[in-house]
Structure 1
Amino acid sequence: MGAGRRRVLTAAVTVVCAVTVLAAPGAAFAAPAPPPDPGATASVTVVTGDQELEAVRKKLESLYRAAAKATDEYNAAEEKARQQTAQVARLAKRIVEGREKLAGLKDRAGAAAAAQYRSGGLPPEAHLMLSDDPQDFLDGADRVRQGQHAAKGLIGEMTRTQEDLEQYAQDAREQMRKLEAGRRAKAEAQQRIEKRIEVAEKLEAELEQEEKERLALLERQAAARAQATWLSSGVLDDVTSKATAQGREAVAYATAQIGKPYQWGAEGPNTFDCSGLTSQAWLAAGKAIPRTSQMQWQQLKRVDVKDMRPGDLIIYWADASHVGMYVGDGTMVHAPRPGRTVTLAGAGSMPILGVVRPDPAVE
């Protein structure tokens, strides 16, 4: 790496460091160190090309992890928006049906009032005096009482229907408020995603082709070291569980997507993000699961690594911002990050938060 390239790359890393620190919530800033004594001999550390590239690798990892977390927030907001939109549609249907029902009740009430008007509205004593047959009067009086009860029931039903309509309208307004808040949250998450990816891509663009290849090698070496450490712990020594029928279908779907590009917010069929791949794989196997890696971690059954079986989902990082699907033999399939494609990787190549099982009922 030439001196000019080194200065450009070092400046780029410095910019990324600044962006990463400024983006971190609650970041603390230390006071600047005092200038060195002019009489002291400065100690200069010469950074090799690989050391610089390792710094770039770590910064890219940090940026893409932040983008992954924001992607989860975006996907969660998108999923909520779908649910709230469906709820608003259901409420709108109920409001239409309620209005039709109320109109029918009003017609019935009007007909009852017209019938009473035609009868003259005479009191029962007058009807008795005008009746030739007392039995006819008694029968008529019974019908009047029934009509009065029916009228009261009709009024009560109209009142309840009107109250239901008011509640539906209030619920619809609340759902629309939540929907609008979700849209704002989604837009904010999208801005965070695009900002981090933009900075990462700019940093990568500063590299020559040879440096990009060495950077990719450093990424593979870091993943291999993490995988080797994970395997050497004996964590898989007792893993003997076999995949269920649904698990095999999910694995088959996920591995069939190998080579397709990563795209944040995507659920296929041509591009995927990490949880888009796992959720669609299980949907293809006949099992609907939560859309995001964080919801998958929160809502699906957790299992020990030693009980892991193909089809289970491995959740990565402390914030549950990444997910892959275990396929067996210490390997998982996942959609890594922007600029990468769906691929197989060591299940221990990233810090594991835990394992969850989409089909716990089938043992």
Structure 2
Amino acid sequence: MPLHRHVQGQPPARRAGLRRAARRLITVVAAVVVGAGMLVAPAHAAPSPEEIEAAIDKQWEQLEPTIEQYNKVRAQLKKDRKKAEELQKKIEPLALQTELALNRVGDMASRYYMTGPSQELGALLVSAKPDTLTEQLTYLDRLAAQERRDLQVVIDARAKFDAEKQKLDVLIAEEVKQEKELAAKKNQINAEIKRLQASMPKTSVKVAGCPTINGVVSSAARTAIRVACQQVGDPYVWGATGPNAFDCSGLTQFAYRAAGISLTHFTGAQWNEGKAIPRSEARPGDLVFFFSDLHHVGLFLGGDLMVHAPRAGKPVQVANINHMPVAGFRRPG
């Protein structure tokens, strides 16, 4: 007898029991297959906060040069605007001088238009006595020479004015170009920082103040160290120069400004604004620079320590200088 006929001939209770048994078997087999797959698939643990921080630090190494380039352009723009103001001050008296000279020429032109130089010469000759003719001709020659000098004053003043104005126009055109570059860089930096901050672990960072400084430290260096250490815990904000937020070169500029020493808000400029010091002779208060392109700087405290503004998400803090490749030391002042 065929099997299906045999099953169909079984009682309903018997058939229902077989179906339940089959479903249980299928469920068991599926669970075994899935379990086996889970055992074979490699496990991927979530990255630790330390690993995330290390990854962000690596990306920041690529971003910080762009930030310092922005600082460079902005510092140059500040200098250019000062030059533009100085040129404008030079141009103002030149413009007045040109106007006065043109007025003199206008007076001469009006006089000659009304009387004519030939009439003036004729009047002198008619009234002249023979013994005074030479003197009168000399007077006319002097008068013509004075007019030529007046004309030359106009020409010279105008040429000088035009030259200075051309410098100013070039400077202003360069400023407009720089401002556009700054806007583009600012948008780029903000977008990148926003992306990095989205992946930063939400943890609070507690940092200790600066250690006691011992050794030979100049008065300016003491002031700079004191001021920089007072900023420990302040947030990093790119482009900031204090008093409540800083980027790396903004912090060193702020600290040394308090000591009466002017530094440019750009790591590359600060490198050239101090005296080169070998690492073996570095003293507290020296600036310590990092990476081959000098895109990071801190204030050396001695004992392989520095106070610096690390990056977005990390406040001003004391850190070991050996965590980054040291490029060299400079002593401001």
TM-score where L is the length of structure 2: 0.74
- Pair 312,106 (structure 1): closer, same or farther in 2 beyond 3 Å: same
Q: Deviations over 1:152-194 (max 9, x none)?
A: 2221221122222322332233222211221222122212322
Q: Any idea what SS the aligned residue of 1:348 has?
A: helix
Equivalent position of 1:179 in the other structure: 175
Q: Any idea what SS the aligned residue of 2:124 has?
A: helix
Equivalent position of 1:279 in the other structure: 253
**Are 1:63 and 1:196, in contact at CA under 8 Å, matched by a contact in 2?**
no
* CA deviation after TM superposition for structure 1 residue 150, in Å: 2.3
**Are 1:315 and 1:322, in contact at CA under 8 Å, matched by a contact in 2?**
yes
Distance (whole Å) between structure 1 residues aligned to residue 304 and residue 48 of structure 2: 31
Distance (whole Å) between structure 1 residues aligned to residue 215 and residue 138 of structure 2: 75
In the alignment, does 2:168 pair up with 1:194?
A: no
Equivalent position of 1:103 in the other structure: 99
- Pair 148,44 (structure 1): closer, same or farther in 2 beyond 3 Å: farther
Distance (whole Å) between structure 2 residues aligned to residue 305 and residue 47 of structure 1: 44
* CA deviation after TM superposition for structure 1 residue 315, in Å: 0.6
- Pair 345,181 (structure 1): closer, same or farther in 2 beyond 3 Å: same
**Are 1:64 and 1:196, in contact at CA under 8 Å, matched by a contact in 2?**
no
- Between the two structures, name the one with larger relative contact order (CA 8 Å, sep ≥ 6): 1
**Are 1:334 and 1:345, in contact at CA under 8 Å, matched by a contact in 2?**
yes
Alignment match of 1:348 (pick from 316, 322, 332): 322
Equivalent position of 2:129 in the other structure: 132
Which amino acid counterpart does residue 258 of structure 1 have in structure 2? V
In the alignment, does 2:294 pair up with 1:320?
A: yes
Structure 2: runs of 5 or more not aligned: 1-38, 208-213
Q: Any idea what SS the aligned residue of 1:315 has?
A: strand
Residues matched between the structures, number:
288
Q: Deviations over 1:36-65 (max 9, x none)?
A: xxxxxx99775666x644432221102222
Distance (whole Å) between structure 1 residues aligned to residue 284 and residue 140 of structure 2: 74
Q: Any idea what SS the aligned residue of 1:302 has?
A: strand
Alignment root-mean-square deviation, CA: 3.1
Which amino acid counterpart does residue 96 of structure 2 have in structure 1? E
- Pair 344,312 (structure 1): closer, same or farther in 2 beyond 3 Å: same
Q: Any idea what SS the aligned residue of 2:66 has?
A: helix
* CA deviation after TM superposition for structure 1 residue 73, in Å: 1.7
- Pair 333,320 (structure 1): closer, same or farther in 2 beyond 3 Å: same
Q: Select between 119-128 and 82-91 the one with higher mean Cα deviation.
A: 119-128
Alignment match of 1:87 (pick from 83, 86, 94): 83
Q: Any idea what SS the aligned residue of 2:236 has?
A: coil
* CA deviation after TM superposition for structure 1 residue 269, in Å: 1.3
**Identity across matched positions, percent:** 24
Which amino acid counterpart does residue 332 of structure 2 have in structure 1? P
Equivalent position of 1:297 in the other structure: 271
Distance (whole Å) between structure 1 residues aligned to residue 41 and residue 331 of structure 2: 52
Which amino acid counterpart does residue 85 of structure 2 have in structure 1? A
Q: Deviations over 1:193-247 (max 9, x none)?
A: 222211221112xx4x6xx47xx79xx9xxxxxxxxxxxxxxxxxxx98333322
